[in-house]
Amino acid sequence: MKPEKDLSQYDILAVDDVSLNLILLEKMLSRFNIQVRKASNGLEAMREMIAKKPDLVILDLIMPFMDGFEVLQKVRETPELEDTRIIVLSALNKNEDIVRAYNCGTNDFITKPIIFEKLINSVNNQLKLVK
């Protein structure tokens, strides 16, 4: 699968407390020259986003300090970040978790383990909507 446009110009922030997951995401996205900034928890993610608003966030839900649900809510409550595109990438797969994530403001939800084609398709679709 090849994205419809050059994705190397976009700033993507990956947030996950498992460093191996961040390495895997970076490796997958680097196949399309996508540069990835990384954060290992929700607090770090919020600091990164406030310092430099990303075009897209790929966000885990289960993290220490501030979980992904809290990050979603904070982003949607922060005027300068409220339109940030967010893809949740989580091991949570119960309907109530998925619905909660959408209610908190995610733009898409992908369950782990990662299916590369699904991830790159979602990234491509979300980046089409970036202004």
| Residue 106 DSSP symbol | -
Q: Residue 60 forms beta bridges with which residues?
A: none
pLDDT in tens, the chain (131 residues): 555 567 778 999 999 999 999 999 999 998 888 889 999 999 999 999 999 999 999 999 999 989 999 999 999 999 999 999 999 999 999 999 999 999 999 999 999 998 989 999 999 999 999 86
Residue 2 lies in a domain: no
CATH number of the domain that 83 lies in?
Answer: 3.40.50.2300
Phi-psi region of 29 (alpha: psi -120 to 50; beta: other; left: phi over 0): alpha
pTM given for the model: 0.94
Q: 71 lies in which domain range?
A: 12-128
Total number of domains constituting the chain: 1
Q: Strands 56-59 and 12-15, how do they pair?
A: parallel
Residue 3 domain flag: no
Q: How many helices (H) and strands (E) does the chain have?
A: 5, 5
Round to whole Å and give the CA distance between 47 and 23.
20
